[in-house]
Amino acid sequence: MATDHTVTELVVLLREGEAAASPPSPPADPLGPQSQTMDALVDELWSAQYLAPGALCAFAGDAVGLTGPLPALVRPTASHGLALRFPAPPAAASFVAHPAFAAPADAAVAAGLLAAPPTILAFTTRSPDESLEALFRRGAEWEDGLEVCLVFAPVPGPEEGQGATPACSPDAFTSDLAALAESSLAGALQACPGRLVTPPSSGLPPGASHALLARFARADQAEAFLSLPPLVAAAGGPDAAAAAGSPLLLVGLEAWSIAPAAGAAQPPPMGAPR
């Protein structure tokens, strides 16, 4: 039976700094954060789920390059990505503020391992109710693949001289995109759309209001999704989006691969890759 329950998706985007290409050196504080490479930092941030309670699942990996029209129109900027699911926005906010997450992230910025503080976005979405495996993203099919995150902002309205009335609401538009991602056109394992609940200081593009997080088993499936006409129009600027009746512009696109955890702080639960 369908429910009206929601979950909160938290996405953390990392951009490596100049120090990432240098040989690691001993940490200044032997009792402080220990990450000296990007792989170690990603593992440490992923492992924070065991010290900061609330996460239902967590996945992380290196950015992947995708072909097609969208990566050329909206260029990815992250070198690594991390996605976590929480029962509600306060739990996601508590995780970001917890020292197990915040301390290594701050130390990596100070050391130049990260070029800037992590870009953080959170959004609420309908709770997957097909099964517990879908909710907790457990099972063999979740052990690898690609995570794709899209960020949207409203198309300027007609009063600003930018096109006509959109054909649908922003919520309906992102829900329709999620349905297309999960259809036979792209074959996503799961696609979750929603409204952002992230504070403005999160490093998101100006005006960002909605996001969509989708998991694909293969790169060609993700590229098929990103080549669909509604997304291409949304990425083409205000005129193209308005002409297509889109209420939203695509202002952010990131994709990263999922790999099994290596060097995590403690063994992950069954079926929980890093």
Quick one: residue 48, left, alpha or beta (phi over 0 = left, psi -120 to 50 = alpha)? alpha
The per-residue pLDDT for 1 is 35
pLDDT confidence tier of residue 24, bands split at 50, 70 and 90: low
31 in any annotated domain? no
The per-residue pLDDT for 198 is 82
SS3 215: strand
13 in any annotated domain? yes
Q: What's the total number of domains in the chain?
A: 1
Residues 85 and 167: their CA atoms lie apart, in Å, by 31
196 in any annotated domain? yes
239 or 32, which is more confident: 239
pLDDT confidence tier of residue 107, bands split at 50, 70 and 90: very high
Q: Which of 7-16, 139-148, 234-243, 265-274 has the lowest mean pLDDT?
A: 265-274
274 in any annotated domain? no
What does the pLDDT average to over 13-31? 69
pLDDT exceeds cutoff 50 at 98: yes
pLDDT confidence tier of residue 133, bands split at 50, 70 and 90: confident
What is the chain's mean pLDDT, rounded?
A: 85
How confident is the model over 64-77, as pLDDT tens digits? 988 888 877 888 99
Q: Which CATH number covers residue 171?
A: 3.30.70.100
19 in any annotated domain? yes
Q: Percent of the chain at pLDDT above 70?
A: 83
243 in any annotated domain? yes
The per-residue pLDDT for 29 is 54
pLDDT exceeds cutoff 80 at 33: no
What does the pLDDT average to over 182-211? 90
Q: Is the dihedral of CA 246, 146, 126, 52 positive or negative?
A: negative
pTM assigned to the model = 0.86
pLDDT confidence tier of residue 27, bands split at 50, 70 and 90: low
pLDDT exceeds cutoff 80 at 251: yes
Residues 29 and 43: their CA atoms lie apart, in Å, by 19
142: containing domain: 6-23+36-258
Residues 265 and 47: their CA atoms lie apart, in Å, by 6
pLDDT exceeds cutoff 60 at 30: no
Query: In degrees rounded to 5, what are phi and psi of residue 159?
Result: -65, -15
How confident is the model over 205-237, as pLDDT tens digits? 889 999 999 999 999 999 999 999 999 999 999
pLDDT exceeds cutoff 80 at 20: no
The per-residue pLDDT for 91 is 95
pLDDT exceeds cutoff 80 at 34: no
Residues 160 and 226: their CA atoms lie apart, in Å, by 28
Enumerate residues 6+ apart whose C-beta is below 8 A from 71.
65, 226, 253
Q: Beta strand 119-126 with 6-14: parallel, antiparallel or unpaired?
A: antiparallel
30 in any annotated domain? no
The per-residue pLDDT for 5 is 85
Q: At what angle do helices 99-110 and 89-97 cross, to 10 degrees?
A: 50
Residues 131 and 58: their CA atoms lie apart, in Å, by 18
